[in-house]
Structure 1
Amino acid sequence: MSHTEQAMPRRAGQQGLWVLVAVAVSLALLAGCGDDGPTDLQPDAGTEPEVCGPSDVWCKDQTIDRLDLLTTVSTGEVREEGTTSGEFLTFVDSRAGGLSPTMSYSYLRFTPQGLTPVQIHDQESLGSTDWDLAVRRYTLRVNSGTSGPSCVSVANTPEGTTFASVTAVNAAMEFKTEAWFDTACTLIPDDSGLNGPLTQLGGFWAYTSCVQMTGRVFVIRLADGRHVKLEVTSYYEPSAQQVCNQTGSVPQPSGSGAIRIKWAFLP
């Protein structure tokens, strides 16, 4: 073997060693950059949307049975009636076929143009993150927990809070997802006496011999991190609702299922 041939393995080994050293130095320099690197290369966490899901709906079969979730898409009308800039008044025909519903909930999404219908039926809703709010009769539910695969959550404001007075999200607000079953999938009923599910928006009404409005204002946190303030102003046609609120009874015809929802995005 020539002197040159003997030197080749030794030189190759030295070259390999230098390559390893160069890689190690490069990695050390990268690690040393840490959080002190150029700010234009790092996203501003404060401006990133808060996105969640999808996740599994818990107690899904029980929810289908207890809420009578159907497979017929609702044909109820949804329209905007408000004229105040930045504030919406949405009418939702929530009758869904009557006291024994024949149609699904109306599935809705909060958009800058108003509450936009999402054309899905009840059982599809359990796998969809496209909707935020569902309405049928006097039941309103949001997309989370026992209701859907997203993470839309609700905070109550103190009793007596007016819609106009809610101008921002308060750090003390406690946001909750839907949970009308316990860990054993046993129903947690509302306090109306009608044995309905305890939904996070259920406090908008109270029951005597008619559905009275409580005036409760809620703040909803959407899956993308935006917030909406919301008040349900009527379940009957407005004139009938006023009589119900004042007297505890409702004149006939009442126009029941004529839900009107006042809402606005919060900064």
Structure 2
Amino acid sequence: MKTKFLKLSLLALVLFTASCSSDDNNDETIPAVETVKVSNLDASQTEYTKFSFSENKVVTTDNWDIAFNKTTIIVNGGIKKADTEPVRTGSGAVSVVSGTFASVTLYPAAATFVQDGTAAYAIPTGSGNGWYSYNSTTHIISPIAGKVFVVKTHDGKYAKFEILSYYKDAPATPELTSVSGIYTFNFAYQANSATTF
């Protein structure tokens, strides 16, 4: 009985060792890019709320990628337009792409990326110009369907995002009493050198 157990144990050890070849340590498969949902990011205050895609959180350092203030979204690249804006220390830029979030799988052409400038932001402001439309009857701000923003991050990586809601807890039908300036958005961050999402 002991001999049979010993033979089975040795066989299992040989099979396990064979399956753990040195090739497994050289696996260069690029991990799949995951979509992350950010809920209730507060941009209702006077100061900009800075967000890092790589850290997936609001940050207070210079390592931010985009920043929110009311309906304005800026990128960490370009020229500071107003005194209330954070200093841009990165090389960030944005390309606005039409399509669904899932359909944007390749980086746009380099020429389509723009930085914030003194005349205009990379993500245009105002109803119907950038990411939202404003209904003057209901006074509700709604994301424009089919607007995806591909961001060159402050350190040269890439991310894409879409705004889902401008109201706390992302109500399906916001009302005038809904708390505004509270973003919900999806993003996907590509930390590798691949050119796809």
1:90 is matched with which residue?
Answer: 38
Determine if contact 2:91/2:155 at 8 Å carries over to the other structure. Answer: no
Q: Does 1:257 align with 2:181?
A: yes
For residues 264 and 144 of structure 1, do their structure 2 counterparts lie closer, same or farther at Cα, with a shift above 3 Å needed?
same
1:151 aligns with 2:75: no
Pairwise CA distance, 1:152? 0.4
2:167 partner SS? coil
Q: Which amino acid aligns with 2:49?
A: S
Matched, 1:162 2:122: no
Assess, with a 3 A threshold, how the Cα gap between structure 1 residues 142 and 252 changes in structure 2: closer, same or farther.
same
- The one-letter amino acid paired with 1:110 is F
TM-score, with length taken from structure 2: 0.63
Aligned mates of 1:177, 1:203 — CA distance in 2:
14
Distance 1:106 1:251 in 2: 24
Q: CA 1:144/1:225 → structure 2, altered by over 3 Å: closer, same or farther? A: closer
TM-superposed CA distance for 1:252, in Å, is 4.0
Q: Which has more radius of gyration? A: 1
8 Å contact kept, 2:140–2:175: no
Does residue 107 of structure 1 match 2:62?
no
CA distance in 2, matches of 1:258, 1:149: 25
Amino acid at match of 2:59: V
Matches for 1:69-84 after TM superposition, within 5 Å: none
Name structure 2 gaps, 5 residues minimum.
1-32, 81-87, 191-195
- Structure 1 residue corresponding to 2:65, chosen from 121, 132, 136: 132
- 1:157 touches 1:173 (CA, 8 Å); kept in 2? no
1:50 equivalent in structure 2: none
RMSD: 2.5
Q: Number of residue pairs matched?
A: 143
Secondary structure in 1 matching 2:53? strand
CA contact (8 A) 1:146 1:181 kept: no
- Matches of 1:169 and 1:254, distance apart in 2: 36
Structure ranking higher on relative contact order (CA contacts 8 Å, 6+ apart)? 2
The aligned runs of 1:1-267 (5 Å cut-off) are 86-91=34-39, 92-96=41-45, 101=46, 104-111=47-54, 113-114=55-56, 116-119=57-60, 128=62, 130-147=63-80, 148-158=88-98, 161-171=99-109, 174-181=112-119, 190-192=125-127, 203-208=130-135, 209-215=139-145, 216-237=147-168, 238-239=170-171, 242-243=172-173, 250-266=174-190, 267=196
> Using the alignment, how far apart are the partners of 1:224 and 1:150 within structure 2?
6
Q: Report the identity percentage.
A: 28
Runs of 4+ in 1 over 3 A off after TM superposition: 170-173, 189-193
Q: Flag the 1:229–1:136 CA change in 2: closer, same or farther, 3 A.
A: same
